[in-house]
A and B are shown apart, each in its own frame.
Chain A
Amino acid sequence: MLTDAIEMFHLARPWLGGIFCLIGAILTVIGTVGVLRFPDFYTRLHAASITDTAGATALLVGMAFMAPGWVVVAKVAAIWVFLFLTGPTASHAIANAAHVAGLEPLIGRMWRDTETESEEE
């Protein structure tokens, strides 16, 4: 029974890995779209952190499913740990540099309806 389950898992592994990779890539594209759409620097920072956290995690989990051996899984885990340690540090460094340089954030509710915008045009 247990050996059957393990065999099933090994058969399903490449497919699981591919699906996780696709999910991660789509999350990365969503984060990038957010970076392109948002109105000011500080809000773009939030969109970029989707790529750093959810997108990277899903892609690396997918790669770990496809790995041929434990050494490769360890390497994927090392990349994940490095990304999670350096990502927020870099984000904070950029945000702090902008804050010290005196870049003012936009504050308050922003509502841009696509219909009214097209009427204006």
Chain B
Amino acid sequence: MNLLLASSAAALLIAIVLMLIRTLLGPTLYDRVLAVNSFGTMTVLLLGLLGFAMGRPDFLDIALLYSLINFVSTIAILKFFRYRSFQVSLSRRVPAPKEGS
């Protein structure tokens, strides 16, 4: 059973290395952002897997946090390269109708 876990962790590591190659090769910025986002998803899965392989499922908390940070960082990178600034409001919010409560 530990052999199964170790081989799946090794396969995930291979996938991460291949994704790093795409990050370095990527002809456009968007290829690189896509590769980094996918890289983050794999890191989340690898963290959880290593937690189980070492018998410490507490690693799942770190994986959960990393999945959220990964999403926010992707959006932040895209926002920066589109507007060249973080000081732009992303939503043009129309005033919502009053909801009875």
Contacts and interface: CB of A to CB of B under 8 A. Distances in A.
B38 A32 contact: yes
Interface string A38-56: 0001001100100110011
Interface in B8-25: 8-9, 11-12, 14-15, 18-19, 21-22
A103 B31 CA distance: 11
Contact of A103 (B22, B28, B57, B67): B28
Nearest to A86: B71
A21 B64 contact: no
Given A63-B49, A79-B67, A89-B71, A48 B34 contact: yes
A10 interface: no
Given A28-B15, A29-B14, A75 B28 contact: no
Main secondary structure of the interface of A (DSSP, over half): helix
A35 B74 contact: no
Interface residues of B, number: 44
A77 to B, nearest CB: 11
A52 B71 contact: no
Contact of B41 (A36, A51, A75): A51
Interface centre among A32, A36, A93 (most CB of B within 10 A): A32
Interface core residue of A18, A24, A87 (most chain B CB under 10 Å): A18
Interface of A: 14-15, 17-19, 21-22, 24-26, 28-29, 31-33, 35-36, 41, 44-45, 48, 51-52, 55-56, 59-60, 62-63, 66-68, 72, 75-76, 78-79, 82-83, 86-87, 89-91, 93-94, 97-98, 100-101, 103
10 contacts: A22-B4, A28-B15, A29-B11, A32-B18, A35-B38, A41-B31, A75-B64, A83-B41, A86-B70, A94-B33
